[in-house]
Structure 1
Amino acid sequence: MMTLSIVEGSISPARVSDREREMLASPEYGALPDHEKPHLRARLQAMERIDAARTAAAGVRAETHRLHAGERLSQHTLRKCYFERWVAHGRDWRMLVNRSRAPLEDREALAPETVLHWHELFFRFSGRGKAAYRELQREWSNGKPIPGLPDRNRPADMPRRLSYATLMREKYKPAAIVKRVARIGLTAAQDLLPSVLQTRVGLAPGSILQFDDVWHDLECSVPGQRGMRRVLQFDALELLSGFQLGRGMKPELLNDKTGRMERLKEREMLFLLAHVLGNRGYNPDGCRLVMELSTATVPERVMRLLHDFSGGKLRVEKGTTSGSPLAEGLYAGRSKGNFRIKAALESLRNLIHNETGDRLLLPAQTGNIGRVNQPDELHGRERHLDQLQRAALLVPAPLRELVTANITPPFAQVVELVDLIQERMNDRTEHELEGWEECGFMAPLFRLAPHEDWRRQTELAGYAPGVRTAIEQALRADPRLVTCRRMSPREVYQERVMPHLTRLPAHLVPALLGMDCAEERRVAKDGRIHFADPDVGPGEHHFEGVAIDEEGNTTVLPDGECYATFVSMLDPERMHVCDAKGRYLGYAPRTLVPTRGDAEAFAKACGQRTKSARERLVPVLRAAAPLMRRDAEAAEQATDLLAQLGEQAQSGRTTPEQRARQKRRAQVDSAIAGASRTADTVQPGGSLYDSDDEP
């Protein structure tokens, strides 16, 4: 085995001695700091060369001209090292260690019992080190025995090794988890404990849907409410794609009767669940609905309904609560939800708070912890709004919101802005979602020239074969024309998740919501349902007076009858309808209300109106069928009579008038027959009242 010897800056090979080989193989050498090891080897080699010299003095003088691991040693240092350390201790390499670089364990180190006593005092005073140290000083002054320290000949003053600076050194200082548990408890120390690491790689599409609530860090004005109100939200996340499936927002409202704030309730959570399962879908092979134990949760009857319908494929999984005591016999803390069971949705919260922190669009920011980081201007804004709301009572009601809109936007406007912001988050491509590349959620891009915008390579399928081949050859020839980016959560959901999902049958939506969530509404004289409901949205809402079932059959809802209806802002385009006995009739589509001047929307609205009118005229056609047939026969007889008086009637040829008469008769017969067939398929709907009762 060879090594390198440094002499006056030159490097020459040197043979390793048996003593040096023994030193290198020793665990004690491996425990030394790296910066001390080359100096130790250099000193050992120097001592062996002095041993091999004619005399020790000659060897010492020769070593003064050498570099030892980059440093030059004086004769005094070499003689002291050789005679007092090397020779005096039987040529033990351990005595050559420079203890200033590699100090030994402190001989005056505190005993483990003393350190434990210090930690007990630290925990006793809730992690307040100064208070714990003052108690230790009092124990010393009162002569109380200190574990690990002798009681005999105890000095009046505490030794230096019991100073506060010494006790707070890394060697004796209590760990961070001790301080956290001492002040709050185990729930506050969860981030300091190991957790189970998980990945989305290998997760089936639509197999885990997470639900949660969030308090937005902003406020808004609410019609009929004094002051500003916090904006609250329920939302759901598909775990594989990270796509936000749906969300519903509401403001906190002051109940004038109870004087308490009303916030998110079970009703809103049920409508969100119905929207996600009924309009988005779930994995029919197995889907877990991850929820909370308190706010974002559903009742036991809904869990049983989903379990029985799917044969156990749809399961509601609620997070466990933490708050257990540190040891048996101690007091337990208040139960709190386990945020780790829906960590992906919780991590989305920070992005939502950051993106909705636009003070230009959403000026009434509250801060995430009001008493700690609430903006100073919020107090002045609230006072100004209160003054304006008082003054607005003097102006007409339609103009009151205009008076306060500049101070804080109304709830309807805030919902629209926050919804657009979160939809933009679904389209983000610059993100670091875990497991994205391993799952293959990458989008290859191309462009036809370096100055053009990037496009998905899936668009190449739209070119003609010859053009596509030419483009592919150009892309292979120029690497500047191809790249790759991460897919957005929306792209992953639409391309990789949606094809695997199935939707909950529409007739289960009322059963899932329960009749407590139903609203009784009457069909107006024009055959539509009109109502105003702030939970659905601002203004008046209009729905067609028909019910379309899951097979596409249409049931006309008679005028004046009342029905149990289910509709929310999550799905404002359709309203589920049930009769008085809870039988599901179908859904009523929203009436199209086009903007003036929008020709395309107006044409669609006219088509909807024509279809609705035709469906409602079916009873008229059935009732008028005998009269229509009588009038058609009378017209035919009169025409025949006039034809017989003409000259052409004598010729026996079929005249144009006769052919027109036959065509009109066929049209009348066809109209009567068509009305009868339509009436057989379109049945009038039920009522909330029995036939023998009057409302």
Structure 2
Amino acid sequence: MNNTLAMTVDQGNRSVTLCFDIPQCDRVYFSTLPEKVQTEVWQRLKQMAFVAAAKKVNTACKQVAASLKSFARGFSWQRIRALFYQFTKGTDKFAAGDWRILVNWSKVGASRSELSPTFIEFWRMLCEQHQRVTSSAWRQLVFDIWRGRVPFQIKGKRYQQIPGYDVWPEAEPETDLPAGWSEGNLYNYTPDRYELAAARIGIQKASSLGFKIRTTRLGLKIGEFMEFDDHEFNVKVNFPGQMRSMRPRCFGAVDALSDCMFSMVIKPTFWDMDAQAKQVLSEKDFMWFVVAVLTHRGYRADIGTMLLVEHGTATVRGNKKLRIDNPLRDDFEKRIFDATGGKVRVDRGGRFHTKANPGQFAPPSGGNFRFKPHVEQFWRMLDDWLDAVKGQTGKGRDFAPEEMERTDAYNNKLLKVAQAMGVEDASKLILPRMTFDDFTNVATKVMGLINDDPDHACNSWEKCGFITKEYRAELSSTWNPLALLAREQHEVQALVSQSDLHFRVRRMTRAEADRTGTTELTPLPFEMIPSLVGPEYAGRPIPVIGGKFQFKDWRLGPDPLVFVAQDSSGHPLREGERFIPYCNPMSPDALVICDASGSVVSVCPPDLEPAKNDEAGVKAAMGAKNHWQAVKLAGQRARHAPAGSDVEFMKRHNAAVMDGKTVSPEDRQRQRNVKRFSGDAEVLAENTKHQTPNTKEDFSAEALL
């Protein structure tokens, strides 16, 4: 065939120059078409060039059709002739010689359809205004709009015609619908699932389907990023003193590098009978939780630490102005910043509060849970591991056990009966819900199991160096770090080097990875707690009674909290003196006391309370008591030390008399002096060395002095 790229063709009274090639300006767009379509267009361009160069069009078309019979089924010479005249004369959409006339658009896809772009946008708008299903939009288009053939109004805008059409489109005989209006074909033009979710629900829902930002832990350090969050367990438990079972709540903190939950505090949920509402965790509780993390775990004093919090309960306020409706200090963030020298900062992440399009009202503000992915996925794992304990509520309303309502009623009935019974009889009842203490122990244990599980899928783990090499001397023995292999005998070293059964390389657990960097963290001193939280969170002044501070906190349970009353030097405080206490309810292992002016006096340790069968603990408690007593009486013993010599003399003299021994003249004279003078025995003894009266008349206090 003729490979001419351009040719002039006569069309009646004018000549048209046809190009049988893809123009350079269209090459990029042409490359986006399917490969089969591109090949077909090149073949048709050659065919059109062959027909245009021939003297007779029909003869050339028959020759082309004959050459295509073996691989182009159904391509008659009449079809080739019709395509040639379309190519040379042009169509309604494309000019003469435009290569797009030769494209089989049915093989290209929905985006290259012949439907008007204006109509496609109108159809998309109809789909987006129907909140449930797209089929309702098709029914509205066909039955209400097209068959009605009257002006219509959608969302305040009035239309005289269907957008994209100058007149009302006519139906095709085969489908009784306008061309391209079949339900299946129009579905090819519907907005994608992200656009539909944004229009029908909102940006927050659509965000799970759209573009996401991926980050890696590679390059982080332990303590550089800490994620905080609150969580409500999918379990109902019985709380002390409550007449109904409820779901416990907790705070948790996860390190972004190690993925380890290094702190979790579970708190009971109480029911307020007056307000008929649950008393849940508050921002005040979260403030104390952050203080506990900074004083126990610490922060990075070299590169700083970022606290990732949310905008809800687990948040840290940063405004200096104190809001009336917020009991938490709004300058808590600034206090943390000042206490750490600017090394600890707070980031709350973004919020979903923008509308998807101008036709919507702005949605209520909501946080982005993907801002804290590590702590969020840890909650999911924790709930998965706890899904076999009693009292499951399901991960949502649609997954709640059907028996839950009746089980709650029976459990609450037993709680009321138990309250009227004695403690011994009530303990015999079998309740369908766990106690709060039992659940706390189980949840804490499961958290430790997750942290110690080496079978995890944390990304970039090997790149971060979180791998460990281990060996074992025998197949039945435990695995040991490879660093200890140097202490083994040569036989064991040879066995490990030759057998894979005695050597392994495994991933570190989350806890092991976390321990690699905890020594680089700097805990805040407990003495800084009053300046962190402010005086409004101090307790009532408490006195020193029996060398201890003792008080109760309903948030921590019915048992009293007892701390040793001592100053910063370890000396006991004055009995009966009152001090202002600061005790963290999230970690009540230290008591900070201040004087009336607010100055920190000391940090008091908790009082030892060993079990009766703990022999070592009892001895330690007795040693602490003896030390307290020795320090407490040290001043008194120093003040009365001189009187001790008189007691020693009395014992020595009486022993000599009872044994019939001779009393020395000095002791005899001292005996007479002690009996007749009530002064200082030590002074008398000192003076009698220099002057000894011989008669009663000579004896006087003046003479002795």
Work out whether the TM-score is over 0.5.
yes
> Residues 236 and 392 (structure 1 numbering): CA distance in 2 closer, same or farther, change over 3 Å?
same
Q: Which amino acid aligns with 2:185?
A: T
Query: What SS is found at the alignment partner of 1:109?
Result: coil
Matched, 1:501 2:521: yes
Q: State the Cα distance separating 1:295 from its structure 2 match.
A: 0.8
After TM superposition, list the pairs within 5 Å mapping 1:563-578 onto structure 2.
563-568=579-584, 570-578=586-594
- Find 1:418's aligned residue among 435, 438, 443: 443
Counterpart contact for 2:268–2:436, Cα < 8 Å: yes
Q: State the Cα distance separating 1:396 from its structure 2 match.
A: 2.2
1:164 alignment partner in structure 2 = 183
2:537 alignment partner in structure 1 = 517
Matched, 1:280 2:261: no
* 432-441 vs 194-203, greater mean Cα deviation: 194-203
2:285 alignment partner in structure 1 = 268
Alpha-carbon distance in structure 1 between the residues aligned to 2:103 and 2:312: 63
Q: State the Cα distance separating 1:444 from its structure 2 match.
A: 1.4
Deviations 1:368-401 (A, max 9, x none): 22x3221112111110012212322331256546
Q: State the Cα distance separating 1:163 from its structure 2 match.
A: 2.6
2:605 alignment partner in structure 1 = 589
Alpha-carbon distance in structure 2 between the residues aligned to 1:234 and 1:603: 36
Q: Which amino acid aligns with 2:124?
A: H
Q: State the Cα distance separating 1:28 from its structure 2 match.
A: 9.8
Alpha-carbon distance in structure 2 between the residues aligned to 1:122 and 1:42: 40
Query: What SS is found at the alignment partner of 1:352?
Result: helix
Counterpart contact for 1:536–1:568, Cα < 8 Å: no
Matched, 1:148 2:148: no
Alpha-carbon distance in structure 2 between the residues aligned to 1:118 and 1:264: 48
Q: Percent identity?
A: 23
Q: State the Cα distance separating 1:323 from its structure 2 match.
A: 0.6
> Residues 559 and 456 (structure 1 numbering): CA distance in 2 closer, same or farther, change over 3 Å?
same
Counterpart contact for 1:412–1:538, Cα < 8 Å: no
- Find 2:144's aligned residue among 135, 138, 143: 138
- Find 1:229's aligned residue among 246, 251, 257: 246
Deviations 1:152-186 (A, max 9, x none): 573495336213222223xx121111211122211
Counterpart contact for 2:170–2:178, Cα < 8 Å: no
Deviations 1:425-464 (A, max 9, x none): 2212111112211111111122234554433223335x16
- Find 1:297's aligned residue among 309, 315, 318: 315
Counterpart contact for 1:537–1:569, Cα < 8 Å: no
Q: State the Cα distance separating 1:34 from its structure 2 match.
A: 6.2
Q: TM-score, normalised by structure 2?
A: 0.73
Counterpart contact for 2:308–2:372, Cα < 8 Å: yes
Counterpart contact for 2:245–2:408, Cα < 8 Å: yes
Alpha-carbon distance in structure 1 between the residues aligned to 2:414 and 2:73: 90
2:394 alignment partner in structure 1 = 367
> Residues 544 and 603 (structure 1 numbering): CA distance in 2 closer, same or farther, change over 3 Å?
same
1:533 alignment partner in structure 2 = 553
Deviations 1:221-275 (A, max 9, x none): 1122221111111111222212222121112222233333211113321221121
1:437 alignment partner in structure 2 = 462
Q: Which amino acid aligns with 1:112?
A: P
Alpha-carbon distance in structure 2 between the residues aligned to 1:43 and 1:455: 74
2:94 alignment partner in structure 1 = none
Q: Which amino acid aligns with 2:610?
A: P
> Residues 320 and 210 (structure 1 numbering): CA distance in 2 closer, same or farther, change over 3 Å?
same
Q: State the Cα distance separating 1:472 from its structure 2 match.
A: 4.3
Alpha-carbon distance in structure 1 between the residues aligned to 2:477 and 2:425: 50
- Find 2:406's aligned residue among 380, 399, 403: 380
Compare CA radii of gyration and give the structure with the larger one: 2
Alpha-carbon distance in structure 2 between the residues aligned to 1:103 and 1:321: 41
* 263-272 vs 329-338, greater mean Cα deviation: 329-338
Q: State the Cα distance separating 1:117 from its structure 2 match.
A: 0.7
Counterpart contact for 1:535–1:568, Cα < 8 Å: no
Q: State the Cα distance separating 1:135 from its structure 2 match.
A: 2.0
Q: State the Cα distance separating 1:643 from its structure 2 match.
A: 10
Q: State the Cα distance separating 1:130 from its structure 2 match.
A: 2.6
- Find 1:488's aligned residue among 506, 509, 514: 509
Q: Which amino acid aligns with 2:254?
A: L
Matched, 1:321 2:326: no
Alpha-carbon distance in structure 2 between the residues aligned to 1:525 and 1:117: 81
Counterpart contact for 1:235–1:248, Cα < 8 Å: yes
1:197 alignment partner in structure 2 = 214
> Residues 242 and 125 (structure 1 numbering): CA distance in 2 closer, same or farther, change over 3 Å?
same
Counterpart contact for 1:212–1:296, Cα < 8 Å: yes
Counterpart contact for 2:566–2:604, Cα < 8 Å: yes
> Residues 329 and 612 (structure 1 numbering): CA distance in 2 closer, same or farther, change over 3 Å?
farther
Alpha-carbon distance in structure 1 between the residues aligned to 2:363 and 2:573: 56
2:564 alignment partner in structure 1 = 544
Alpha-carbon distance in structure 2 between the residues aligned to 1:628 and 1:366: 74
Counterpart contact for 1:555–1:585, Cα < 8 Å: no
> Residues 566 and 419 (structure 1 numbering): CA distance in 2 closer, same or farther, change over 3 Å?
farther
Counterpart contact for 1:212–1:292, Cα < 8 Å: yes
1:686 alignment partner in structure 2 = none
Q: State the Cα distance separating 1:597 from its structure 2 match.
A: 2.4
Counterpart contact for 1:282–1:501, Cα < 8 Å: yes
2:57 alignment partner in structure 1 = none
> Residues 273 and 441 (structure 1 numbering): CA distance in 2 closer, same or farther, change over 3 Å?
same
Q: State the Cα distance separating 1:74 from its structure 2 match.
A: 8.0
Q: Which amino acid aligns with 1:175?
A: D
Deviations 1:98-143 (A, max 9, x none): 9799578899732111111111111222353132223212111234
Counterpart contact for 1:247–1:272, Cα < 8 Å: no
Alpha-carbon distance in structure 1 between the residues aligned to 2:111 and 2:309: 54
Alpha-carbon distance in structure 1 between the residues aligned to 2:634 and 2:441: 41
1:358 alignment partner in structure 2 = 388
Counterpart contact for 1:267–1:517, Cα < 8 Å: no
Alpha-carbon distance in structure 2 between the residues aligned to 1:271 and 1:586: 19
Query: What SS is found at the alignment partner of 1:564?
Result: strand
Q: Which amino acid aligns with 2:400?
A: Q
Alpha-carbon distance in structure 2 between the residues aligned to 1:324 and 1:78: 55
Deviations 1:16-72 (A, max 9, x none): x999xx99x998996675689999999999xxxxxxxxxxxxxx9xxx9xxx9xxxx
Counterpart contact for 1:445–1:455, Cα < 8 Å: yes
- Find 2:378's aligned residue among 348, 354, 361: 348
> Residues 289 and 175 (structure 1 numbering): CA distance in 2 closer, same or farther, change over 3 Å?
same
> Residues 330 and 507 (structure 1 numbering): CA distance in 2 closer, same or farther, change over 3 Å?
same
Alpha-carbon distance in structure 2 between the residues aligned to 1:124 and 1:38: 41
> Residues 583 and 628 (structure 1 numbering): CA distance in 2 closer, same or farther, change over 3 Å?
farther
> Residues 105 and 588 (structure 1 numbering): CA distance in 2 closer, same or farther, change over 3 Å?
closer
Query: What SS is found at the alignment partner of 2:420?
Result: coil
Q: State the Cα distance separating 1:554 from its structure 2 match.
A: 0.7
Task: Give the CA RMSD over aligned residues.
Answer: 4.4
Query: What SS is found at the alignment partner of 2:372?
Result: helix
* 608-617 vs 102-111, greater mean Cα deviation: 102-111
Alpha-carbon distance in structure 2 between the residues aligned to 1:320 and 1:31: 37
1:477 alignment partner in structure 2 = 498
* 583-592 vs 227-236, greater mean Cα deviation: 583-592
Alpha-carbon distance in structure 2 between the residues aligned to 1:433 and 1:251: 32
Counterpart contact for 2:339–2:532, Cα < 8 Å: no
Alpha-carbon distance in structure 2 between the residues aligned to 1:27 and 1:255: 69
Q: State the Cα distance separating 1:364 from its structure 2 match.
A: 0.9
> Residues 629 and 278 (structure 1 numbering): CA distance in 2 closer, same or farther, change over 3 Å?
farther
